[in-house]
Amino acid sequence: MRTLTKLKVSMLTTLAFLIGLSTLILTALFTYVLTPTAGLSTVLVLSLVFVIGIHVLQWLVGPKIIEMAYNAEPIMGGRYAWVEELIARIARASNLGFIPKAMIAHVDVPNAFAYGNRLTGYKVAVTEGLLRIAPPEEVEAVLAHEIGHIKHRDVELMMVISILPALIFWLGRVLMYFGWFGGGDREGEASILPIIGAVLMGVAFLFNFAVLYVSRLREYYADAHAALTVPGGARKLQRALARILVASGELKAFAPSKVASASKFKAFLIADPEEGIEVRGYGIIDIDEVVEWIKSQPRLVPTEIFMTHPDPAKRLRFLDTLASGAT
């Protein structure tokens, strides 16, 4: 259990850092402003309500926006009924307590995603592009990954922690403008507030890297769920991810607009379409050779700290540790 334990410790440590430091910053900030300076404190409180309100609204209407962006609709039997059956089986094996609604996204880029909330219901979508290139056993591993996101409440978690840098940035901006144009009520406030605001905006920028790091950790965690829920899940997921990377790379070369369109909400996808790789002769080579080639690379993407998903080479090697039983 060493691999999963290390993963959980990393997630908890990062979350504690984000939440703890944010709480400290906000406490210090409001301790400073919640004094007779009523004008500034009112503006900051209203800003707090505004930022949280925007994120809650996105959480509520987000599922409909995602469905429109990916042209997704419910699977109601027919040719994709087997996807419904897989989702139901995996949900039961995951002890989820409910069965997410199966969705088909009418896009050519191969991918899958989980979304929704307690109010709108949870849903798992696969694209037509994925169903064209991956056999059912690999689709099963992909679906298990997505159901892992639902089981781990990743949608809610990412919404909560993404509020923190957004809130700190907005408060910093308000302080900067208030100092420039509001003048402040206390002696020296007009000169110090822009400085505090600039510092907060810088902190918010750095916090975003921590949020992206948590996003990458959640992908590893969902991969682990697939590996431990589906028989042979680690190997099947490796193959599926390799197929997605290769097919996305080909589409990026010949139809870049399709890849760009599919990348609108890439944080929800199982793999970033823009990370696609080009492999000549994909139609005749063994996908296992592609998997081994990817794993042999030190890394495929040099700027992982800016990514919502783990570097593909590291990700496939992580699945190796699960396949070997070193969990």
Q: 237 and 142 in contact (C-beta within 8 Å)? A: yes
Position 229 pLDDT exceeds 80: yes
Position 282 pLDDT exceeds 50: no
Strand 72-74 versus strand 101-105 pairing type? antiparallel
Helical H runs in the chain?
2-33, 38-70, 81-93, 128-133, 136-151, 154-177, 189-229, 233-254, 256-262, 287-296, 312-323
CA distances from 130 to 18, 30, 150, 306 (A): 35, 50, 20, 26
User: How many residues comprise the chain?
Assistant: 327
Residue 201: domain span:
1-327
Residues with a known catalytic role: 146
Residue with the bigger pLDDT between 327 and 72: it is 72
- Look at residues 295, 273, 226, 224 and name the one whose alpha carbon lies nearest to residue 108: 273
Q: What is the pLDDT of residue 36?
A: 44
Residue-wise burial string across 2-37, b where 16 or more C-beta atoms lie within 10 A, e elsewhere? ebbeebeebbeebbeebeebbeebbeebeebbeeee
pTM of the model: 0.88
Q: 291 and 238 in contact (C-beta within 8 Å)? A: yes
For the chain, the maximum distance between any two Cα atoms, rounded to a whole number of angstroms, is 75
Q: Provide the β-strand partners of residue 105.
A: 72, 127
- What average pLDDT does range 245-258 have in this prediction? 88
Share of the chain above pLDDT 70, in %: 90
- DSSP H or E segment with residue 125: strand 121-127
Position 286 pLDDT exceeds 80: yes
Burial class (CB in 10 A: 0-12, 13-18, 19+), 124: buried
Q: Which of 29-33, 165-169, 186-190, 244-248 has the lowest mean pLDDT?
A: 186-190
> Domain count of the chain?
1
Strand 121-127 versus strand 101-105 pairing type? parallel
